[in-house]
Amino acid sequence: MSDLVGAASEQHWVGDNNVDEASGGTGTVESGTYEPSTYEPNTGSAIGPESETSGETQQGSETEEVTEEENASEVVTSPAANGSDGDTESASGGSDNTTESASNGSGNTTSEPAPSNSTPPAQNTTDTTTPDTDSGTEVSAATGGVKALPFISFTAPAVNLPGKPALGAEVKLSDTGTVVKRISDYGRAVSGDMPNFYDGNDSQLSHTYPRHHPFSKNDTYILGNGGWRWRGLWKADGSFVREIQEAGSGEAIWANTEDEWIYIIDHQDQKSFAKTNVLTDEKIVLRTFPYAIKIGQSEGDISDDDKKVAFSSNDNGSVRVTAYDIENDSYIEKTLSRSFSELDWVSVSRSGDYILVSYHKGVREVLLYDWDMNFIRRITNAQHGDIGWDENGDECWFSVGWLEPDTSRTTVGKWRLSDNAYTEVLGGSGRFRNSPDSLSGHLSARATDRTPGVVYISNDDDGGPFTLFGIKTDGSELIQLFGWDGSEINGNYYNQPHLATNRNGRIGVFKSNWKNSNDATEMYLVYRDPDA
């Protein structure tokens, strides 16, 4: 994989041994040097982890009806200079009495018609994939010759996990024809190799959350984090590049239209939305708000064209959603009647047509709004998931867990945002989750530069197969089996693998403690064995 993105430049952070002691891994590691950063770490309070916890997921559905009156003003701001709040003017006379009815997910109760469905963005022109997408024989120029995994019938084979590889080393998973490469070393990070690494109670080495792109636009770089305050940059081949000085909060996501830029919430004031260059630390403040904001409680994203984003904030104990038009530097804000303590996340959809709001306490549900924050409908009950495009090019909410309409079993499902049409993508209790009380799996729909219609799942061990796989969203139950993460969860959310992929779905990235719940998680890449 050393030639994954062409010839690698100087590697800044590497291991000394080919294989971890007392392990059976194999591989080679190049030598190199590390150039320390001079960044002064943030001395303020740490940004807390996302609101979900290890005990969050509960079996059963929320069937009580909820009527929610939006009780605060809805304002539209005119464009203003960077750093200013801008002038505000009433957009609806000061109040919005739209009623939300939490139906059974059928989508029959609406106050406004859904906006027209958008088509997915054009495919990345840097990816010269040949059209045979299901055979596993195509080669992508963007990933240096890594082949796609073939699609097979759903299976969960026995786990034959090899010994833990050393930093930079690869091990082969012979049962799945894939290779796993370790790209981080937590011990070196906290001992000084990364001077600004935050070593706290929630400290870890990980890629970004599965609902965020872990890879940059052209699959050149990987964004890593530690403890929700530290950000690091890796090349796609797994070599460490540098610490990112201007991304010291839990809110950092890759741009979709520029390869070397991330969007952040400024870690100094928590009010400024900015973008920063991951190689130079150049920072451009796009807007400063009069209140602290988050990009959807660390689970929100930006539209595929980088033009729209939704922020969440606490308005005197209630949920406030701010829909920011980046291109025109204008925003709409709306305060909802639900308690902020019940909020899980807020996000703009991939098209920018919708905003989704999810609550993980009280009535657990995912609600759909248009861009102007007019309520459309309740989508379903709240479980882990992602917003993406299905095989027909329709924008959907994909989810994994105890999903409606049958919450007695774990499934993967999709809901089309335009009309709430539901498709069961994978059904059957115990097929990829092995007990009803296990920690929830995660789902990622970040492979935006491949043919739409594949999402990626990581389930937890609970005595089962630690499976990492992609699955077609058409209900065929055909999967791409990456292998196993080997992470023992043991009730700790931070041990969950959180599989996500590069933009064409050929390279997975996950974290694992490698069968030792007392050990720190490390970052790993997984991809098809070139010899398989």
Residue 9 covered by a domain: no
Strand order in the sheet with 411-416: 384-389, 395-401, 411-416, 422-426
Beta bridge partners of 479: 152, 471
pLDDT at 114 over 90: no
Residue 467 covered by a domain: yes
pLDDT at 141 over 50: no
Task: Report phi then psi at 42, rounded to 5.
Answer: -65, 130
Residue 54 covered by a domain: no
The 10s digit of each residue's pLDDT in 233-270 is 999 999 999 988 777 665 899 999 999 999 999 888 89
The 10s digit of each residue's pLDDT in 403-462 is 898 887 778 899 999 999 999 998 765 455 444 434 358 999 999 876 679 999 987 765
pLDDT at 505 over 80: yes
pLDDT (0 to 100) of residue 5 = 35
Residue 223 covered by a domain: yes
Q: 184, 225 in Cβ contact below 8 A?
A: no
Residue 293 covered by a domain: yes
| Ordered DSSP codes for 35-49 | ----PPPP-SPPPPP
The 10s digit of each residue's pLDDT in 151-207 is 998 766 666 789 999 999 999 998 889 999 999 998 878 777 777 776 554 557 888
| Cα 87–Cα 93–Cα 98 angle in degrees, nearest 5 | 115
Rounded Cα gap, residues 151 and 148, in angstroms: 9
Rg (CA), the chain: 22
Q: What is the mean pLDDT of residues 480-489?
A: 88
Single-letter code of the amino acid located at 522:
E
Q: 217, 14 in Cβ contact below 8 A?
A: no
pLDDT (0 to 100) of residue 73 = 42
> Percentage of the chain surpassing pLDDT 70?
65
Residue 139 covered by a domain: no
Q: What is the mean pLDDT of residues 203-226?
A: 89
**Size of the chain, expressed as the number of residues it contains:** 532
Q: What does DSSP assign to residue 113?
A: P
pLDDT (0 to 100) of residue 282 = 94
**In the numeric block, which tokens belong to residue 249?**
């909060």
In sequence order, the 6+-apart residues with CB closer than 8 A to the CB of 191 are: none
pLDDT (0 to 100) of residue 459 = 79
Q: 318, 333 in Cβ contact below 8 A?
A: no
Residue 59 covered by a domain: no
| Cα 198–Cα 203–Cα 205 angle in degrees, nearest 5 | 95
Rounded Cα gap, residues 484 and 161, in angstroms: 7
pLDDT at 3 over 60: no
Q: How far is CA 506 from CA 35, 328, 526, 531, in A?
A: 31, 36, 9, 15
- The domain of 174 spans 67-130+150-528
**In the numeric block, which tokens belong to residue 118?**
């958008």
pLDDT at 94 over 80: no
Q: How many CB atoms lie within 10 A of CB 114?
A: 18
Q: 5-19, 311-325, 457-471: lowest mean pLDDT where?
A: 5-19
Of 415, 378, 370, nearest to 115 by C-alpha is 370
User: Model-level pTM?
Assistant: 0.76
Burial 47-82 (b: 16+ CB within 10 A, else e): bebbbbebebbbeebbeeebebebebbbbbbeebee
Q: 326, 303 in Cβ contact below 8 A?
A: no
What is the chain's mean pLDDT, rounded?
74
Of 471, 484, 482, nearest to 512 by C-alpha is 484
The 10s digit of each residue's pLDDT in 61-85 is 333 333 343 433 444 444 333 333 3
Cis peptide before 150 (omega within 30 of 0): no
> What's 435's domain CATH number?
2.130.10.10
Identify each DSSP E strand in 296-364 by its residue range: 308-315, 318-325, 330-339, 343-348, 354-359
Q: What is the mean pLDDT of residues 297-323?
A: 97
pLDDT (0 to 100) of residue 380 = 96
Helix (H) or strand (E) holding 188: helix 186-188
Task: Name the residue with higher pLDDT: 139 or 256.
Answer: 256
**In the numeric block, which tokens belong to residue 174?**
């012979």
Q: How many domains does the chain have?
A: 1
Task: Name the residue with higher pLDDT: 500 or 429.
Answer: 500
Residue 194 covered by a domain: yes
pLDDT at 31 over 80: no
Q: How far is CA 157 from CA 5, 175, 437, 490, in A?
A: 32, 8, 22, 22
Q: How many CB atoms lie within 10 A of CB 406?
A: 14
